[in-house]
Amino acid sequence: MEQRLQAAIRNIPDFPKPGIQFKDITPIFLDPELFRDLVKRFAQEYKKYSPDAIVGIESRGYLAGPAIALELGIPFVLIRKKGKLPAKTISHTYSLEYGTDVVEVHEDAIAPGSKVIVHDDLLATGGTAEAAGHLVEKCGSTPVLFSFIVELNFLNGKERLEKVAPCHSIITY
């Protein structure tokens, strides 16, 4: 599984800015067998946490997240950037290198007291996933796992997230 994922993930140098090595995960979803095996692998891992819901982070957390939720028979909840969700929301503002950003969730999307898995495609600095975790807490629920396909180890996002909940990723660079 790891080898097939490594082979599918492309490195795009200098995207979206000079010096960034962008990990393009989109080829995984061109290969239905690999996609199916990835979903089953995540579902197996997630079962240990008896989750009540999976939250996915816009936008690439929406690729595998809903398929894993379907496999486990639990809700998939969208976390979006500010101003995109139509009904009443709960928001969380977090710091970026320069300035701030805001993530939102529908206020009625997560049943209070839920055990929630936060899923995204890739962990870099951990700022986005940490903010998603805070949002889950603001909804009266508990993040029980942060889960990614890819982790960029040299950015130390894991250290930051592990203060809140364990962190799982399949491929590490």
Ligand X SMILES: Nc1ncnc2[nH]cnc12
Q: Report the SS3 class of residue 13.
A: strand
Q: Mention every residue, 6+ apart, whose C-beta is less than 8 A from residue 95.
A: 127
Catalytic one of 10, 97, 104, 159: 97
Q: Specify the stretch interacting with ligand PRP by CB under 6 A; choose among 57-65, 69-77, 138-146, 163-171.
A: 57-65
Least distance CB 31 / ligand PRP (angstroms): 20
Catalytic one of 10, 60, 151, 160: 60
Sole binder of ligand PRP in the list 28, 123, 164, 165 (CB under 6 A): 123
Sole binder of ligand X in the list 109, 124, 144, 161 (CB under 6 A): 124
Sole binder of ligand PRP in the list 5, 122, 144, 167 (CB under 6 A): 122
**Position 60 contacts ligand PRP (CB under 6 A):** yes
CB-wise, 52 or 101, nearer to ligand X?
Answer: 101
DSSP-assigned states of every residue in 86-145: -S-EEEEEEE-SSSEEEEEEETTSS-TT-EEEEEEEEESSSHHHHHHHHHHHHTT-EEEE
61 burial via Cβ count (<10 Å: 0-12, 13-18, 19+): buried
Ranges within 148-167 binding ligand PRP (CB under 6 A)? 157
What's the Cα-to-Cα distance from 41 to each of 9, 49, 105, 117, 147, rounded to whole Å? 17, 14, 27, 15, 12
| Active site annotation includes 71 | no
Least distance CB 40 / ligand PRP (angstroms): 22
Q: Which does 58 bind (CB under 5 to 8 A by kind): ligand X, ligand PRP, none?
A: ligand PRP
| Active site annotation includes 97 | yes
Q: Which does 119 bind (CB under 5 to 8 A by kind): ligand PRP, ligand X, none?
A: none
117 burial via Cβ count (<10 Å: 0-12, 13-18, 19+): buried
